Structure 1
Amino acid sequence: MEGLMLDVPLLLSSFLWRTERLFHDKRIITRLSTGGYHSYDYREFGQRVRRLANSLGALGITHGDVVATLAWNHYRHLECYYGVPVMGATLHTVNMRLFEDQQAYTLNHAGARVLLLDADQVPAVERLVEIGIPKVEAFVIMHDGTMPVTNLSPVYSYEQLMARASSEFEFPTFDENTAAAICYTSAATGDPKGVVYSHRALVLQSLILGMNGMLGVDESAVWMPISPMFHANAWCVPHTCLAQGADIVLTGEHPLDRDYLQIIADKRVTGVNAAVTVGQMMRDYIERSGEHLDLSSLKLMWLGAQAPPRGLLDWWMTTNGTRAFTGYGMTESSPQVCFNFTKSTLADAPIEEDWARRTSGGLPIPLMQIKIVDEDDDELPWDGTSIGTVCLRAPYTARGYLNVEAESTSTKLAGWFKSGDVAVIDPDGYVTVKDRIRDHIKSGGEWISSIDLENALMTHPGVREAMVVGVPHEKWQERPVALVVKRDPEVSTADLTRYLTDRFAKWWLPDEYIFLDELPKTSMGKLDKKRARATLGQLRAGST
């Protein structure tokens, strides 16, 4: 017997239908680089989304076409989040932090026909044209004031197109598995890989994030997604906020650490999501400047991209009353896999056990199945000690990459996505990522977790940032070396060795500490261990 439910597809347009009617007076606010803020309500947003869909139609975009953006976090970019997918086209958010040849590769690989860009990105796109992006048929510049001078052709003004377009557009109904957005991985090795998100995946992920026990966004929230809209849909937070009717505050072009803090104070922001490094930058600015900004409205800070140090989470709670927390995700899972909260049955756990869970990746989110496997793809137990490769299965997890032949997998993993992460899962279901497979350090036949060492080092009051990498060793195969940015200039190698001695076995301790002014990071703010190894090689070469 089949259920007697209406067959209504899960489409992003359903969020807009609800928000326009129930929360039409809630606001979308964008910081302007010229000073002040742009602000409008969801009613006007919906009208402009329809104008954009009609404008793209006038440029020849139809169902199944790809439209790209190269833009910061602002209201026009948010209009693209809906104006493109609601017409059945696919939005490709180009990562502006990739190298130019990688950007050109993604545009060509995705087959983008129209590119919408911010005015400050005009020189970059002119260089992309020189490299070769022949599939792009039109350029649309999102700007205020005078149209910038450019040799891009044909080129249009976003606002002029919008002014000519009708605000009447009927959202079509189509299959919920239709592609809504494409995000490319940050290319740690080889070319970037395209992850294609369906409407179904984004709707499900957004609804889950809005649940109590997850991000818990409701219509009273004033949320600022600091994570870039050009990567993994800013962790799906803009969609979640729109679905829930929350005010959205966007950071605008070229934001700096003080800008984030000023926006929080000005607009009484209640929550942000950002890379761990951004949370550190804001803390450091407050400590360094001594400037008083009223951040009392900020209740929640979701930090991701890497495991946050305990000291950072504690600082925000102690200093500002802000609950900083983390999760675990990846581009291939729309992007969340786990979310961190303390189960009620564990509320009275000893403090060290509690902190171990709070700095883990957290618990798998609803509809997510997860397991860890050994080298033979056999499942390992959830005992908190067995280390294996993370495998995922959920209706918002990728089954492959755009135009990439699927890799062969064992029958044991049929229907699962095998990640490149190594983790343990404790009996309560908390997932602790120990490393990327390529970053796990094997010394004398035993594994050393670089992440565990990094997290421990960053709890030292004299350490601002730390990264641990494995280097070749004649006897032990690999040994750990720590790259450290100091908070206290007096911190020494001996201090850090003593600090770690009580926490780890002697053979885990780094053989060497190298003190730097800053650590290399990827385009998404993660520690870049590939560049770190190259930097380490240069430093050692220079000393010989």
Structure 2
Amino acid sequence: MTTPLAGQMMDVPLTVPSLLAHAARHFGSTEIVSRRIEGDLHRYTYRDCEKRAKQLAQALIALGVEPGERVATLAWNGYRHLEAYYGTTGFGAVCHTINPRLFPDQIAYIINHADDAYVLFDTTFAPLVDVLAPQCPKVRGWIALADEAHLPVMQTPVLSYETLVTAQDGNYEWPPIDERQASYLCYTSGTTGNPKGALYSHRSTVLHAFGAALPDAMSLSARDCVLPVVPMFHVNAWGIPHSAPLTGAKLVFPGKDLDGKSLYELMESERVTYSAGVPTVWLGLLNYLREAKGRFSSLNRTVIGGSACPPAMLRTFEDDYGVQVIHAWGMTEMSPLGTLSKLTWEQSQRPLEEQRKLLEKQGHVLYGVDMKIVGEDGRELPWDGVAFGDLHVRGPWVIDRYFRKDDSPLVDGWFPTGDVATIDRDSFLHITDRSKDVIKSGGEWISSIDIENVAIAHPAVAEAACIACAHPKWTERPLLVVVKRPGFDVTRDELIAFYEGKVAKWWIPDDVAFVDELPHTATGKLQKLKLRDIFRDHVLPSALEEEKDCPLTPLARGNPVSR
């Protein structure tokens, strides 16, 4: 048996600092613009960013941080946060981004579980740090992302980021790093149990950056001006802080002000061409545009993910404002991107309505990700757009196990996502629900996402959520929970009638409840577990009818399944 012939290519490791080094060397004058906590706009270049990231690396080393140790951030999207991304990973430490919108007890758990050495924080989170510090005794220091003049008055002793950074000269060479070393640590924001950590490697981060930047993915280039609305504490802002320097795109960071007016004004003043965020953010922006009668002069593409993009939102962006929507799906455990909705040449020749139906789905996988759907027996289901199954994925930027967990969640080498989905003959993924949210009526599945998308298309509906309610005959039936648009009115019967001809009759909600607001998780997703608790004792009219017609059937109250 002959020995396989080895290739004769350079063995250059794929490392995070190489992305910024590339941008500084080849796109050195490209701007990075940030709306600061201090209230002004800060401007500098990729060349400046790399120098300050090196200064930060020197400062952390001087503080005694060693490769492999975790340095956490509690920060908005801004240039100092970007420096932390590269200044920590650049010498082999791990950048641990923390979602400041979580409950303090959850944040304290995450900091302690990660064993963070230092925590960098924006000054808006000073009160939060004062709450956290006594609960996190192993943290060696808290560093405010500010100069001495802007340090907040606090109970906790803090260091000034600017003082630490400017004390260093930046004359520093990124050291050799094994590409399989850890780079970033991101925790899931699950609604049950403690958050779990996904520990990425330099290799997985760089491969994800390449995959995300591809033309049939995020399609970033040096001709773009990118404003990531998705927070840098939410799965590394979907990889944009890595894909932008890889391609040389201009970056614009919005800071803490994510309301429609603030985003629109920054997009217009900086001539933003590209953005990314969750549906709740875009809802605020579209409402502002509608009220202010605004138009986009430069924005032409946006990625919408985090939760399913309502078709009505997709069509509003494209029909009313000329902005292409790229529908995306992914998970913290996937770094996060898995699929994006882009058409092939053949698909783009189909009738417009057929194209749109495809684009409303989550799309096809990026190279580097594979997927399948399996039934309850674990067998793979056909890609016919009809069969529902549990979605499993695998790839070089998908986790093998959670941080500090010995057991692996993988099933035969595949990661079970917890999503229920179909895959059609075009290889397009359609997430129909989370496995814990799917409504099982009479043994058949009803997609809560599809029910919500129909409701959102009604002009009087601002936001909607669909959950299961107990039913004596069908086990579960859908309840629609709705927030009305300001200045509009709609009745229960009108909304139920709105479903006629849009979904199968047995999918139509049995009841509608109106609320002032819906609960959301810290990342903007609908918090259906909380909704189910709120409506646990809700009795559907159809359940009352069933009780009246069949007195021996016990009246169903509450949710029969704890999910």
- TM over 0.5, yes or no? yes
Q: What amino acid is the match of 2:327? A: T
Report the counterpart of residue 69 of structure 1 in structure 2: 73
Distance of aligned partners of 1:326 and 1:77 in 2 relative to their CA distance in 1, 3 Å threshold: same
Given that residues 13 and 171 in structure 1 are in contact (C-alpha distance below 8 angstroms), is that contact kept between their aligned partners in structure 2?
yes
Given that residues 17 and 90 in structure 2 are in contact (C-alpha distance below 8 angstroms), is that contact kept between their aligned partners in structure 1?
yes
Give the 3-state SS of the residue equivalent to 2:535 in structure 1.
Answer: helix
Report the counterpart of residue 406 of structure 1 in structure 2: 407
Report the counterpart of residue 510 of structure 1 in structure 2: 509
- What is the alpha-carbon distance in structure 2 between the residues aligned to residue 72 and residue 216 of structure 1? 24
Report the counterpart of residue 257 of structure 1 in structure 2: 260
Q: CA deviation at 1:539?
A: 7.1
Given that residues 390 and 418 in structure 2 are in contact (C-alpha distance below 8 angstroms), is that contact kept between their aligned partners in structure 1?
yes
Asked if 1:231 corresponds to 2:240, the answer is: no
Q: What amino acid is the match of 2:374? A: V
- What is the alpha-carbon distance in structure 1 between the residues aligned to residue 18 and residue 408 of structure 2? 35
Report the counterpart of residue 350 of structure 2 in structure 1: 349
Given that residues 363 and 430 in structure 1 are in contact (C-alpha distance below 8 angstroms), is that contact kept between their aligned partners in structure 2?
yes
Given that residues 268 and 295 in structure 1 are in contact (C-alpha distance below 8 angstroms), is that contact kept between their aligned partners in structure 2?
no
Asked if 1:220 corresponds to 2:203, the answer is: no
Q: What amino acid is the match of 1:431? A: L
- What is the alpha-carbon distance in structure 2 between the residues aligned to residue 98 and residue 364 of structure 1? 30
* Alignment gaps of 5+ in structure 1: none
Given that residues 300 and 324 in structure 1 are in contact (C-alpha distance below 8 angstroms), is that contact kept between their aligned partners in structure 2?
yes
Report the counterpart of residue 272 of structure 1 in structure 2: 275
Q: CA deviation at 1:319?
A: 2.2
- What is the alpha-carbon distance in structure 2 between the residues aligned to residue 539 and residue 35 of structure 1? 47
Report the counterpart of residue 431 of structure 1 in structure 2: 429
Report the counterpart of residue 310 of structure 1 in structure 2: 311
- Write out aligned runs for 1:147-158 (5 A): 147-153=151-157, 155-158=158-161
Given that residues 37 and 124 in structure 2 are in contact (C-alpha distance below 8 angstroms), is that contact kept between their aligned partners in structure 1?
no
Q: CA deviation at 1:35?
A: 3.9
Asked if 1:245 corresponds to 2:248, the answer is: yes
Give the 3-state SS of the residue equivalent to 2:349 in structure 1.
Answer: coil
Q: Map Cα deviations across residues 377-431 of structure 1 (whole Å, 9 max, x no partner).
A: 111111111111111111000111111232566xxx3221111001000011000
Q: CA deviation at 1:311?
A: 1.5
Larger deviation, residues 400-409 vs 44-53: 400-409
Give the 3-state SS of the residue equivalent to 1:84 in structure 2.
Answer: helix
Larger deviation, residues 424-433 vs 529-538: 529-538
Q: CA deviation at 1:33?
A: 4.4
Distance of aligned partners of 1:224 and 1:450 in 2 relative to their CA distance in 1, 3 Å threshold: same
* Alignment gaps of 5+ in structure 2: 541-556, 559-563
Q: What amino acid is the match of 1:467? A: A
Q: Map Cα deviations across residues 428-465 of structure 1 (whole Å, 9 max, x no partner).
A: 10000010000001111111110111112212223221
Report the counterpart of residue 52 of structure 2 in structure 1: 48
Q: Map Cα deviations across residues 82-115 of structure 1 (whole Å, 9 max, x no partner).
A: 0000110001111101111100011011110111
Report the counterpart of residue 24 of structure 1 in structure 2: 28
- What is the alpha-carbon distance in structure 1 between the residues aligned to residue 353 and residue 470 of structure 2? 34
Q: CA deviation at 1:125?
A: 1.1
Following TM superposition, the consecutive aligned residue runs of length 4 or more in structure 1 with deviations greater than 6 angstroms are 538-541
Report the counterpart of residue 544 of structure 2 in structure 1: none
Asked if 1:286 corresponds to 2:285, the answer is: no
Give the 3-state SS of the residue equivalent to 1:327 in structure 2.
Answer: strand
Q: CA deviation at 1:149?
A: 2.1
2:458 to 426, 451, 460: 460
Q: CA deviation at 1:122?
A: 1.5
Give the 3-state SS of the residue equivalent to 1:248 in structure 2.
Answer: strand
Larger deviation, residues 64-73 vs 454-463: 454-463
- What is the alpha-carbon distance in structure 2 between the residues aligned to residue 283 and residue 76 of structure 1? 29
- What is the alpha-carbon distance in structure 2 between the residues aligned to residue 75 and residue 322 of structure 1? 27
Q: Give the number of equivalent residue pairs.
A: 536
- What is the alpha-carbon distance in structure 2 between the residues aligned to residue 13 and residue 91 of structure 1? 12
Q: CA deviation at 1:69?
A: 0.6
Report the counterpart of residue 521 of structure 2 in structure 1: 522
- What is the alpha-carbon distance in structure 2 between the residues aligned to residue 254 and residue 127 of structure 1? 23
Q: Percent identity?
A: 38
Report the counterpart of residue 96 of structure 1 in structure 2: 100
Given that residues 194 and 401 in structure 1 are in contact (C-alpha distance below 8 angstroms), is that contact kept between their aligned partners in structure 2?
yes
- What is the alpha-carbon distance in structure 1 between the residues aligned to residue 400 and residue 112 of structure 2? 22
- What is the alpha-carbon distance in structure 2 between the residues aligned to residue 41 and residue 503 of structure 1? 51
Given that residues 197 and 334 in structure 1 are in contact (C-alpha distance below 8 angstroms), is that contact kept between their aligned partners in structure 2?
yes
- What is the alpha-carbon distance in structure 1 between the residues aligned to residue 433 and residue 35 of structure 2? 37
Given that residues 409 and 416 in structure 2 are in contact (C-alpha distance below 8 angstroms), is that contact kept between their aligned partners in structure 1?
no
Q: What amino acid is the match of 1:67? A: V
Give the 3-state SS of the residue equivalent to 1:124 in structure 2.
Answer: helix
Asked if 1:490 corresponds to 2:493, the answer is: no
- What is the alpha-carbon distance in structure 2 between the residues aligned to residue 538 and residue 241 of structure 1? 49
- What is the alpha-carbon distance in structure 2 between the residues aligned to residue 65 and residue 13 of structure 1? 17
Q: CA deviation at 1:210?
A: 1.4
Report the counterpart of residue 553 of structure 2 in structure 1: none
Q: CA deviation at 1:163?
A: 1.4
Report the counterpart of residue 419 of structure 1 in structure 2: 417
Q: CA deviation at 1:291?
A: 5.2
Given that residues 468 and 476 in structure 2 are in contact (C-alpha distance below 8 angstroms), is that contact kept between their aligned partners in structure 1?
yes
Q: Map Cα deviations across residues 337-374 of structure 1 (whole Å, 9 max, x no partner).
A: 00111111111323443222111110001111110111
Give the 3-state SS of the residue equivalent to 2:55 in structure 1.
Answer: helix
Distance of aligned partners of 1:356 and 1:291 in 2 relative to their CA distance in 1, 3 Å threshold: closer
Report the counterpart of residue 360 of structure 1 in structure 2: 361
Q: What amino acid is the match of 1:170? A: E
Asked if 1:161 corresponds to 2:159, the answer is: no
